[in-house]
Amino acid sequence: MEQKVKWSEFIKSAAGIEGWIDDDIPEVLFVGRSNVGKSSFINALTNNKKLAKISSTPGKTRLLNFFDINKGLFRIVDAPGYGYAKVNGKMKEQFSDMMNQYMETRPNLKLVVMLVDLRHKPTTDDLGMYKYLKYYQLPVVVVGTKLDKLKQNEIKKNEKMIRDTLELKPSDGFIKISNTDKRNVNEVYDEICKRLEVNPEV
């Protein structure tokens, strides 16, 4: 498989507006439940196993993490996983404030990639996140993870279940991927570039 991301680098972490990067490079926000495989997907997409830290403890990411893709083509912004039960109320509130501030006021934010687990019906947290994104009219690509865990006859049925539960809009993309064998990972990169109107072949 041709590797489309030729360069990726962690830039910084930030909790609030004072830590954001002041330029006009487009940003793609990655959101998803704590155990959906978000860090693994970022590493598969960039072919860099050490880029996003994968923890055995879900919910470890506490900040927004900024990654440069192809030397300024765009940035990935990795958000804290949501829906992790062991995170206390005050911390959830801080997460919520940070996410609200970023999603509502960040001019660089051009697209949200929302990860869901293909094996399961979207949770209440998934549904809440999707509705929130739609309320603020943010363009979304839904990425279904763990494709390799499904039998062939389950794939279409589970995609329909997810589409119906979230009430996906026709304008929202839906791509099924596997972090393990990297199936369709390049499709996500191509879709991001198409939405951002940037050249994927840099």
In a domain, 98, yes or no: yes
pLDDT at 43 over 90: yes
In a domain, 184, yes or no: yes
Which residue range forms the structural domain that includes residue 166?
8-196
In a domain, 3, yes or no: no
Contacts 24+ apart (CB under 8 A), 56-64: 58/34, 58/84, 59/34, 59/84, 59/86, 59/87, 62/15, 62/91, 62/95, 63/13, 63/14, 63/15, 63/98, 64/13, 64/14, 64/15, 64/19, 64/98, 64/102
For the segment 56-110, what is each residue's pLDDT rounded down to a tens digit? Answer: 554 455 789 999 999 999 999 999 888 654 555 666 677 788 889 999 999 999 9
In a domain, 14, yes or no: yes
In a domain, 177, yes or no: yes
For the segment 25-36, what is each residue's pLDDT rounded down to a tens digit? Answer: 999 999 999 889
pTM as predicted: 0.92
In a domain, 170, yes or no: yes
- Total number of domains in the chain: 1
In a domain, 201, yes or no: no
Judge whether 56 and 76 are in contact, CB under 8 Å. Answer: no
